[in-house]
Amino acid sequence: MNFVAALNDVAAKNLRVLEEHIRKAIVKDSFIFEACEPLFKGGKRLRPMLFLLCANSKTDCPPEKTMPLATALELIHTASLVHDDIIDTSKKRRGVETANSKYGAQIAVLVGDYLFAKAFQLVAENNYGAQVQLILSKLVKNLCVGEIMQDRSLFEVPTLTEYYTRINLKTAIFLSSCCRLGAIVSKMDNHEVENLTAYGSGLGLAFQIIDDLLDFFGDEKITGKPRGGDLKSGVITLPVIRALEISDEASTLRKIATSGADVEAAIKIIQATDAVDYCRTRAEAHIESARVNLPFTLKTSVALALEQIADFIVDRTR
């Protein structure tokens, strides 16, 4: 399923406007634009689109009120990717050379920092208020905590609770914050704000679980990343955790997981278990939890788009 095509009826115009705002935010800084353009070209825009849909969930919110914050959310996401690639020493992202591979880690750190700063500049310039700034600050803090937690436990097998804590910090809180911000900007009541936040959280957990599956079993030409990249870099995810629980070759898999060697052998061991079905079942349960939290008061077009996003999360190939 193509994410943008699924949303065209309700979001095509918003996406075009958003792309122009993203470009304008950094185009004057030519080096930053050059360093980040491949990332901006290849993104799904899931985070700002969740915000925009929730911000327009009852009545149409003017673009001048939504686009600066939507742009800031995409800049924060891109900054986190730039920094993730440095930490993971990734050579490719979305099929193109990463900033750290192209310019070196020192420059890439500064590029990510620039994007974070630019995002908060947009929020400050457009007077979104203390509540929005607090949500964004906590969001970035949680991204950092999740990354630190992951980096400090490389090549260690996490418990299921530890795994969920990590993906909540790194992914689910981001998506739930986007929905929360949209609901706040649209002046929804507290119950609706919490419901949309819970929708985003369920979406985020499912998104990361599917992402972890694609790292092993996705088509490299589609994902733009080599298979088993997480395992090679020491990040042990749910497919491995599950396979370690039930595989007859658990001891071999544990040796691979704690060394990062022989990823292809690990993939074969995982495939021989129910790990793929197990992960998909968990992702689908989180998606169902997200769906039941959608408020009945949403505009029909927005409710449909949010349902389509839920479908996209579990069916995606990249």
Give the chain's mean pLDDT: 91
Average pLDDT over residues 148-155: 95
Q: Model pTM?
A: 0.93
Residue 8: its pLDDT value, please?
52
CA distances from 208 to 9, 65, 203, 300, 316 (A): 26, 30, 9, 27, 12
Residue-range domain boundaries for the chain: 3-315
Given a cut of 50, whether residue 156 has pLDDT beyond it is yes
Given a cut of 80, whether residue 259 has pLDDT beyond it is yes
CATH architecture of 3-315: Orthogonal Bundle (1.10)
Average pLDDT over residues 38-49: 82
Q: Which of 129, 220, 205, 226 is nearest to 163 (CA)?
A: 205
pLDDT in tens, 229-247: 899 999 999 999 999 999 9
Element holding 283 (H helix, E strand): helix 275-292
Given a cut of 70, whether residue 7 has pLDDT beyond it is no
* Count of residues in the chain: 318
Given a cut of 70, whether residue 11 has pLDDT beyond it is no
Q: Which amino acid is at 209?
A: I
